[in-house]
Amino acid sequence: MTSTAPVPRPGILDIEAYVPGESKLPSGIKPAKLSSNETPLGPSPKAVEAYAATAGALERYPDGQATALRQAIGRRYGLDPARIVCGSGSDELLSLLAHAYLGPGDEAIYTEHGFLVYRIAILTNGATPVVAPERDLRTDVDAILARVTAKTRMVFLANPNNPTGTYIPIDEVRRLRAGLRADILLVLDGAYAEYVRRNDYESGIELVATTANTVMTRTFSKIYGLAALRIGWAYCPPGVADVLNRIRGPFNLSSAAIAAGAAAMEDQGHVEAAAAHNDRWLAWLDVEIGKLGLAVTPSVANFLLIRFPRDAGRTAADADAFLKSKGLILRMVASYGLGDCLRLTVGTEDENRRVVAALAEFVAGGGS
């Protein structure tokens, strides 16, 4: 009898599985994990308290509408909670958008060094990913528009972008929206929006409010320090919110996530403290690493992209191995087409100083 294995739909086997930032080192070394853009300040104490308070009702299903969380987000930003959809991290929402609006024969565009989840979401639904080149590691609106075809159905834009840390001003985002057909959904990924301190930046709320074809996604995994709970949200046109609510899981957020997320959203003092810490140490790391002769891409997020020469013994891979020997884990980003770079998350004061000292030793020949 002939045995035939199930065959996945077209596109699935073209996906390279997403590999998270490393968190462990061999030989029992306690690492400083600076590979996943987590906040060094941790979550709000109010969020921790709200999380713990849910332990007495674990037998109960969560609120399938995540009402308390959507209302807290609405209060914070002045948004209609009915247009807010919550998900298990913004990753789930990005995947749901692709599932709802992409299929075989469709195309979706993302930028050259854009978040890897975009490609995964596109291929999962049988659509074709189209890559728009960047200019100096920044989104190039004209390059995106030049790649629009009759098959284009969606554009993913991370602003700020991960792993480069670069952004484009809101006027450029508006120009992109105006240059796209009305039937093309523009998805603005604002995972790092809370860190940006630029007068010409806006996360996309206004565009969503004034168009029927723009969505903004956000996350609690970065500045809010709730990565372990997987909480994301999307602000959508009413029609898109209706579509996402039809296809998402009925209980896609736990009670603990809903409670902790709502409490974190109300504690803006903690958010401001995290942003202030980042402002100080992002600038310090930029300057100090630059003094070592290493190229650093200017960033508005909570991480820096560091470029290493391709000389033998001085490559990004060599630096990665040396830093790990010092208990410091950064992120290799070869999967983003940046094989000569490492991405460094802003850490605690001690971690930041340790990284600079270790990089100085490496540059001076300590890694030989």
Here the tokens at position 74 are 């609405």
The domain 20-42+269-366 is placed in CATH, from the list 3.90.1150.10, 3.40.50.970, 3.40.50.2300, 3.40.50.800, at 3.90.1150.10
Residue 27 has a pLDDT of 64
* 26: number of Cβ within 10 Å: 6
Half-sphere exposure of 173 (CA within 13 A, CB side): 27
Residue 14 has a pLDDT of 78
How big is the CA angle at 79 (ends 74 and 85), to the nearest 5 degrees? 70
Residue 10 has a pLDDT of 79
Residue 79 has a pLDDT of 98
Helix axes 255-266, 268-291, angle to 10 degrees: 80
Q: Would you say the pTM of this structure is higher than 0.85? A: yes
Q: Say if domain 45-266 classifies as CATH 3.30.1370.100.
A: no
Domains in the chain: boundaries:
20-42+269-366, 45-266
* Same fold flag, 20-42+269-366 and 45-266: no
pLDDT in tens, 120-132: 999 999 999 999 9
Residue 367 has a pLDDT of 60
**Beta strands across the sheet bearing 214-219:** 84-87, 232-235, 214-219, 185-189, 152-158, 107-111, 128-132
Here the tokens at position 334 are 């070869």
Residue with tokens 């860190």: 195
**Rounded-to-integer distance, Cα 239 and Cα 248, Å:** 15
pLDDT in tens, 162-180: 999 999 999 999 999 999 9
pLDDT in tens, 42-51: 999 999 999 9
> Low-confidence residues of the chain, pLDDT below 50?
none
